[in-house]
Amino acid sequence: MTVTVLFAAGEALWPEYGPHLRVAFAGAGLDAALVTEATPGEVDYIVYAPGSALQDFTPYTRCRAVLNLWAGVERIVGNPTLTQPLCRMVDPGLTEGMVEYVTGHVLRHHLGMDRYIKGAPGWQQIVPPLARERVVAMLGLGELGLACARALKALNFAVEGWSRSAKTGLDIPAHHGEAGLEALLRKAEIVVTLLPRTAETENLLDARRLAWLPQGAVIVNPGRGALIDDDALLAALDSGALGHATLDVFRIEPLPEDHPFRHHPGVTVTPHIAADTRASSAARVVAENIRRGEAGEPLLHQVDLTRGY
Ligand SMILES: NC(=O)c1ccc[n+]([C@@H]2O[C@H](COP(=O)([O-])OP(=O)(O)OC[C@H]3O[C@@H](n4cnc5c(N)ncnc54)[C@H](OP(=O)(O)O)[C@@H]3O)[C@@H](O)[C@H]2O)c1
């Protein structure tokens, strides 16, 4: 029987995603009607993105899953009308992009590239330590954090991770809990934040925890803006306690032109470009989840609505 898939991720994404989804559905052997409008009670799956006009899931009584095109789900998990299973995007293309972003920005700070790009006067030879001597803290050891940690480890960085649950058997040292965070931050010269935004992670890096970092430490945040207390970050940069912050995500996006981050010499702003979902590989993930749904198999990357990620 034909399954009806409503593309509710917005008009802007439709021209790019429509053709890739059709190819992926055919590749997965699905008999699927991909539509941008439908009677809610006749929809079997919803392809979704956070800015969608669809906010009331109540009438979608037959819908078997909402398939988000984004990795982050903080703008949908709290929707009280959502009773259908929600899956987030885990896209190999997105992961690759994040690994490249994180590796590039960590290397920039590790090697002190700015000094020479800006044209350091004279002939002062400042040789950076080897990567093996540089402790990098990876906050978040999920799909993205772990992939980035492994890429940095392959470059010999002394990477250690931190997550909500205790991890055993990983190929990098892993910490959890408040004591684990403190132990890691106290030795981390570079911190990468790849955590979801939840009630628990909001303002995780506040003044108290930022003060645990060694003098001159650098933060790279491609996770979510709310993970860091903006004012505490600016104060730590102004006092010289922190060396630099490379920020890709913000509490308000686009970041307002008059926000202090925009013009602060210790802040690099990138406009939420660390890692985008790639339509061709993401379409295959969506198709596979619909195939699983129809075959009665467990869905991939299902979000725990109470945990918030
Ligand atoms: N800037 C961009 O372009 C961009 C693109 C994609 C994603 N992102 C961001 O990256 C985030 C991470 O993505 P992902 O795919 O790696 O997510 P994920 O697979 O769900 O992993 C999340 C990680 O965060 C940990 N975590 C969650 N809550 C925690 C807490 N309270 N304390 C400590 N650790 C906690 C989890 O711990 P456990 O392992 O114990 O569960 C897990 O290791 C997304 O949520 C999104 O915000 C940004």
74-98: per-residue pLDDT in tens? 999 999 999 999 999 999 999 999 9
- Stretch 7-25: mean pLDDT: 98
Joined together, the tokens standing for residue 138 give 């990876």
Mean pLDDT of the residues in the chain: 97
DSSP code of residue 41 = G
Residues 6 or more apart whose Cβ sits within 8 Å of residue 48: 8, 9, 54, 66, 67, 68, 69, 76
Residues lining ligand 1, Cβ inside 6 A: 71-72, 94, 140-145, 163-165, 194-198, 200-201, 222-224, 248-249, 272, 274-275, 309
Joined together, the tokens standing for residue 154 give 């392959």
Nearest to 70 by CA among 97, 50, 46, 55: 50
The three-state secondary structure class of 135 is strand
Q: What distance in angstroms lies between residue 58's CA and the mean position of ligand 1's atoms?
A: 28
Q: What distance in angstroms lies between residue 140's CA and the mean position of ligand 1's atoms?
A: 5
Q: Which atom of ligand 1 is nearest to the CA of 224?
A: 47
Question: Hey, whose CA ends up nearest to atom 33 of ligand 1?
Answer: 164
pLDDT tens readout for residues 215-249: 999 999 999 999 999 999 999 999 999 999 999 99
Mutation choice for ligand 1 from 94, 143, 164, CB with most ligand atoms inside 8 A = 164
Q: What distance in angstroms lies between residue 10's CA and the mean position of ligand 1's atoms?
A: 24
* Percent of the chain residues past pLDDT 70, beyond the cut: 100
Contact indicator for 46, 6 with CB cutoff of 8 Å: yes
Q: From the CB of residue 167, how many other CB atoms can be counted at a distance below 10 Å?
A: 16
Radius of gyration in angstroms for the set of CA atoms belonging to the chain, rounded to a whole number: 21
Joined together, the tokens standing for residue 76 give 């949908």
Q: Could you list the active site residues?
A: 224, 272
The span from the CA of 117 to the CA of 121, in Å, is: 11
Identify the pLDDT of residue 105.
Answer: 98
